[in-house]
């Protein structure tokens, strides 16, 4: 069992050159992930006009699936670039209220694959002060990565807790073979990481066994938040 681990905190990189190289590598990986669906799509489109009528529907279905896959990968690349170039739009919100619908949406599909998902409502005395859209995309990406690297009988566990001025979220899965993650998984992981770092959070990843945890700043609760519900964050 090996642990490929990465720990990062916003504003504490190894330097502008290394960070630029890392970002370029993430973009290159995303373009690599696009190559497969585009190749399959091209092959399917070439077969449609020369196939028997009964086979055309099958190639059309393949083309539709790969177009959807390509669209999702383009969206991930857009998110990756946006989180690097645009500042986070932060406000106070309840992390559990954000998480719960995503968990419920995935339970049925995962159950059909023999994969469990476990999460209980956390005791979070304060909301988080973050960009809800980016936090939602990050959590969704991590859930999808955990699912794609799970097998029947595995269970994905989600936890959230507050410690001091930060709220920590963790998603963990089963033991994983080193290098099993696909280029699509790594693109989504990069998106999740940059989304979190862009709003003054910290990000920690272990590949085997699969485990990702990140922190977001805790905001003021109740009357403390006042009428002004916005908080500032800078894209690092």
- Which residues have C-beta within 8 Å of that of residue 215, sequence separation ≥ 6? 166, 167, 168, 169, 196, 201, 202
189 vs 196: CA distance, rounded Å: 11
Q: Which fold does the domain 91-222 belong to in CATH? A: Heat Shock Protein 90 (3.30.565)
For residue 189, the number of C-alpha atoms closer than 13 Å in the C-beta half-sphere is 29
Nearest one of 145, 146, 142, 134 to 196, comparing CA atoms: 134
- Looking at the domain that runs over 15-85, which CATH code has it been given? 1.10.287
Q: What is the pLDDT along the chain (236 residues), one digit of tens a residue?
A: 445 445 565 544 445 558 889 899 999 999 999 999 999 999 999 999 988 888 999 999 999 999 999 999 999 999 999 999 999 999 999 998 998 999 988 888 899 999 999 988 888 888 999 999 999 999 999 999 999 888 899 999 999 999 889 999 999 986 655 457 899 999 999 999 999 999 989 999 998 888 999 999 998 754 344 434 456 444 34
Per-domain residue ranges for the chain?
Answer: 15-85, 91-222
């Amino acid at each position: 069992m090996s642990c490929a681990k990465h720990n990062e905190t916003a504003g504490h990189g190894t330097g502008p050159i290394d960070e630029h190289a890392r970002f370029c590598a993430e973009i290159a990986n995303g373009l690599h992930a696009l190559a497969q669906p585009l190749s399959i799509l091209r092959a399917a489109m070439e077969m449609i006009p020369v196939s028997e009528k009964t086979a055309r529907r099958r190639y059309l279905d393949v083309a539709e699936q790969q177009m959807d896959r390509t669209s999702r990968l383009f969206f991930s690349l857009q998110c990756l670039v946006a989180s690097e170039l645009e500042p986070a739009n932060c406000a106070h919100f309840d992390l559990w209220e954000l998480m719960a619908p995503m968990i419920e949406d995935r339970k049925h599909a995962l159950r059909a694959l023999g994969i469990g998902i476990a999460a209980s409502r956390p005791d979070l005395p304060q909301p988080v002060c973050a960009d809800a859209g980016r936090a939602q995309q990050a959590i969704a990406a991590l859930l999808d990565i955990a699912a794609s690297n799970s097998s029947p009988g595995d269970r994905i566990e989600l936890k959230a807790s507050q410690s001091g001025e930060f709220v920590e979220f963790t998603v963990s899965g089963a033991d994983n073979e080193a290098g099993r993650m696909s280029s699509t998984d790594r693109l989504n992981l990069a998106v999740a990481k940059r989304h979190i770092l862009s709003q003054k959070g910290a990000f920690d990843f272990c590949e085997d066994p699969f485990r990702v945890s990140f922190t977001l700043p805790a905001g003021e609760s109740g009357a403390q938040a006042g009428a002004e519900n916005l908080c500032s964050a800078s894209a690092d």
